[in-house]
């Protein structure tokens, strides 16, 4: 900003500055008015004086703790509305209260001033005691508002930290609960991590290339976390079946299939809210992750889009992870073999959208062991 040349006697005048006092800016082209106002407040505030709008802006820019601005309207170089324009542009009117003090302010000018968001308008000649009282009340009000905003921000930070801690604790409990089955079935504890990672990758491709599902980052995170509980129902399967090294008999397989409904019963016992999206993802994934699009899955033989997309995604992630992992009843397939088996329909029929996401995620899936070692996907 280019400031106009100052005449002798003009300029910014600062009293003796104190570290304990707040600052008060008086803007008026009449020195007598500045002197009268200064005498009212100099006992309680460090006074800064400016004789026109440009100098007022300079004072505002160089002041750190302005409690109030007493602003005249009609001044040379730049009037009071020029100062208000600057303060509005820099979002200062919500932080620094302004009282307009003027001798000739038509009603429309007052309305215009209030539209800027000023605190008050006072007319000359003014009664010193009234000006001081109204000014102090406004300063106290703004200070109270500022303190409240600070406290609210501090509370917001505290709440966010608590939410983060709670989320991390919940994540730990979910993973721990999901891992119980793995320890019973002699599977590695990385199974839950791999399922979560594969699910998250598939969901990101689904969100990017299939906007019809309207997946948000929050939903992707919730579904990925919920995937850790997909096999929680296996807690209720007897060891003689769960740990059997050979092929299950038809009767044993029927019992094994009940892990989907047992899991839902376990989840239902922990349910706290009937409108909780995360619970619904847990339930859908637990119950439907063995459903197939042609209706040949279980337990409900759903067809096509009857199967929630969350369960469809976890289903193909679970199948792939099971194929490439060593189990008590089989050796591990290679990545290429598992990929081919899924595409050939050897593991059941998946929807075209899910298969397309699986194809897009091929490289991510093949590198899963390296990726999990490099990053923490819990």
Answer yes or no: do 173 and 89 share one domain: no
Answer yes or no: do 114 and 169 share one domain: no
Phi, psi of 342 (to 5 degrees): -70, -45
Domain limit, last residue, from 87, 114, 145: 145
Could you tell me if residue 67 is inside a domain?
yes
Q: What residues pair up with 66 in beta bridges, in sequence order?
A: 23
Report how far apart, in Å, the C-alpha atoms of 158 and of each of 100, 146, 154, 218 are: 39, 18, 6, 21
Q: 278 falls in which pLDDT band (50, 70, 90)?
A: confident
Mean pLDDT calculated for residue range 207-214:
96
Tokens of 58: 């300079």
Mean pLDDT calculated for residue range 355-372:
82
Which tens digit of pLDDT belongs to each residue from 300-312? 999 999 999 999 9
Mean pLDDT calculated for residue range 338-361:
96
Which has the closest alpha carbon to 36: 119, 129, 133?
129
Q: What is the pLDDT of residue 186?
A: 53
Answer yes or no: do 312 and 189 share one domain: yes
Could you tell me if residue 4 is inside a domain?
no
Answer yes or no: do 18 and 46 share one domain: yes
3-state SS string over the chain?
CCCCCCCCCCCCEECCCCCCCCEEEEECCCHHHHHHHHHHHCCCCEEEEECCHHHHHHHHHHCCCEEEEEECCCCCCCCHHHHHHHHHHCCCCCCCCEEEEECCCCHHHHHHHHHHCCCEEEECCCCHHHHHHHHHHHHHHHHHHHHHHHHHHHHHHHHHHHHHHHHHHHHHHHHHHHHHHHHHCCCCCHHHHHHHHHHHHHHHHHHHHCHHHCCCHHHHHHHHHHHHHCCHHHHHCCHHHHCCCCCCCHHHHHHHHCHHHHHHHHHHHHCCCCCCHHHHHHHHHHHHCCCCCECCCCCCCCEHHHCCHHHHHHHHHHHHHHHHCCECCECCCCHHHHHHHHHCCCCCCCCHHHHHHHHHCHHHHHCHHHHHHHCCCC
Report percent pLDDT > 90 for the chain.
Answer: 51
Domain limit, last residue, from 145, 180, 215: 145
Answer yes or no: do 128 and 62 share one domain: yes
Q: What is the pLDDT of residue 16?
A: 57
**201 CB-near residues (< 8 Å, 6+ apart):** 361, 364, 365
Q: How many domains does the chain have?
A: 2
Q: What is the pLDDT of residue 159?
A: 84
**171 CB-near residues (< 8 Å, 6+ apart):** 225, 378
Q: 372 falls in which pLDDT band (50, 70, 90)?
A: low
Tokens of 312: 């469809």
Residue 371 pLDDT > 60: no
Answer yes or no: do 135 and 22 share one domain: yes
Of residues 267 and 8, the one with the higher pLDDT is 267
Domain limit, last residue, from 92, 120, 145: 145
Q: 210 falls in which pLDDT band (50, 70, 90)?
A: very high
Residue 173 pLDDT > 70: no
**238 CB-near residues (< 8 Å, 6+ apart):** 255
What is the CATH classification number for the domain harbouring 25?
3.40.50.2300
**Apex 322 CA angle, 316 and 325, nearest 5:** 140
Report percent pLDDT > 70 for the chain.
Answer: 84
Could you tell me if residue 65 is inside a domain?
yes
Could you tell me if residue 174 is inside a domain?
yes
Answer yes or no: do 178 and 135 share one domain: no
Tokens 């006072």 locate to 122
Answer yes or no: do 194 and 121 share one domain: no
* Torsional class of 25: left (φ above 0), alpha (ψ -120 to 50), beta (otherwise): beta
- Cβ neighbourhood burial of 14 (10 Å; 0-12, 13-18, 19+): middle
Q: Which domain holds residue 85?
A: 13-145
**CA–CA distance, 156 with 219 (Å, rounded to integer):** 23
Q: Could you count the other beta carbons within 10 Å of the beta carbon of residue 43?
A: 7
Lowest mean pLDDT across 18-27, 161-170, 228-237, 238-247: 161-170
Answer yes or no: do 267 and 327 share one domain: yes
Mean pLDDT calculated for residue range 200-216:
96
Report how far apart, in Å, the C-alpha atoms of 191 and of each of 213, 279, 332 are: 27, 21, 13
CA dihedral 356→175→246→241, nearest 10 degrees, is: -120
Answer yes or no: do 224 and 363 share one domain: yes
**CA–CA distance, 219 with 59 (Å, rounded to integer):** 50
What is the CATH classification number for the domain harbouring 317?
1.10.3210.10
Could you tell me if residue 6 is inside a domain?
no
Lowest mean pLDDT across 7-11, 90-94, 129-133: 7-11
**CA–CA distance, 292 with 216 (Å, rounded to integer):** 25
């Amino acid at each position: 900003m280019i400031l106009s040349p100052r005449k002798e006697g003009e300029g910014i005048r600062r009293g003796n500055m104190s570290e304990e006092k707040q600052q008060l800016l008086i803007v008026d082209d009449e020195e007598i008015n500045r002197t009268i106002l200064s005498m009212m407040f100099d006992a309680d505030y460090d006074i800064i004086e400016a004789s026109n709008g440009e100098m007022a802006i300079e004072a505002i820019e160089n002041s750190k703790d302005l409690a109030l601005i007493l602003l005249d309207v009609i001044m040379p170089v730049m009037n009071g509305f020029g100062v208000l324009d600057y303060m509005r542009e820099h979002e200062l009117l919500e932080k620094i209260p302004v009282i307009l003090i003027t001798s000739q302010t038509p009603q429309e000018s007052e309305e215009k001033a209030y539209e800027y968001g000023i605190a008050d308008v006072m007319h000359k000649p003014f009664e010193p005691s009234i000006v001081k009282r109204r000014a102090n009340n406004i300063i106290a009000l703004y200070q109270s508002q500022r303190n409240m905003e600070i406290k609210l921000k501090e509370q917001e930070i505290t709440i966010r930290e608590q939410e983060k801690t709670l989320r991390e604790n919940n994540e730990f409990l979910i993973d721990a609960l999901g891992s119980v089955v793995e320890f019973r079935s002699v599977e590695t504890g990385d199974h839950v991590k791999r399922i979560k990672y594969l699910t998250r990758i598939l969901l990101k491709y689904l969100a990017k290339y299939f906007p019809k599902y309207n997946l948000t980052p929050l939903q992707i995170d919730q579904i990925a976390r919920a995937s850790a509980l997909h096999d929680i129902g296996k807690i209720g399967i007897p060891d003689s079946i769960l740990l059997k090294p050979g092929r299950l008999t038809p009767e044993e397989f029927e019992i094994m299939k009940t892990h989907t409904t047992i899991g839902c019963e376990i989840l239902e016992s922990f349910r706290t809210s009937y409108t909780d999206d995360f619970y619904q993802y847990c339930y859908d994934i637990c119950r439907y992750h063995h459903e197939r699009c042609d209706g040949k899955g279980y337990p409900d033989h759903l067809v096509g889009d009857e199967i929630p997309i969350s369960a469809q995604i976890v289903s193909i992630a679970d199948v792939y992870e099971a194929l490439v992992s060593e189990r008590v009843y089989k050796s591990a397939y290679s990545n290429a073999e598992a990929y081919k088996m899924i595409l050939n329909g050897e593991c059941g029929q998946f929807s075209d959208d899910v298969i397309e996401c699986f194809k897009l995620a091929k490289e991510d899936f093949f590198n899963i062991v390296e990726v999990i070692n490099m990053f923490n996907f819990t």
